[in-house]
Amino acid sequence: MTVTRSPASMLPGWQLRPAQKDSVLNTPVSSNDTPSLAFTDLGLADPLLRALEAASYSTPTPIQAQAIPALLQGRDMLGLAQTGTGKTAAGSAG
C-alpha cells in the first residue's frame, strides 16, 4: 500500500483554516498573522477562563486564536502547526 501525504502536510508552518462548503484554504500562520487576543476574547465559558487564568495563560497562540472560535461554532477543522503550539488545548477548549 502506498501512503500519499497531502500537500499541506508537507508545508511546515502552514495550516488549514476552516473552509466554507467544500473548499480548502491553505494559509501560512505566524505570530505576526494573528492580532493579539486574550482568551477572554474567544467566547470561552467562565470555568475554563478561570482555569486558564489560574494556570497563568492569558494569550492564545495563533492556531488557538483561529481554531477556538470555529470549534465553538461547531465547525470541523484541520489545523497543522508545530509541536507545542497548543493544537490539543484548542481542540479541548472548543
Q: What is the pLDDT of residues 28-74, one digit of tens each?
A: 555 555 557 899 998 899 999 999 999 999 899 888 888 888 888 88
Number of independent structural domains in the chain: 1
Distance CA 77, CA 5 (A): 18
CA distances to 18, 22, 28, 69 from 25, rounded to whole Å, are: 8, 10, 10, 17
Is 23 a member of any domain? no
Identify the helix (H) or strand (E) that includes residue 25: strand 25-28
Domain of residue 89, residue span: 35-94
Is 43 a member of any domain? yes
Is 77 a member of any domain? yes
Whole-prediction pTM: 0.62
- Mean pLDDT of all residues in 81-88: 86
The whole-chain average pLDDT of the chain stands at: 74
pLDDT, residue 62, reads 87
Q: Give the bridge partners for 15, in sequence order.
A: 27
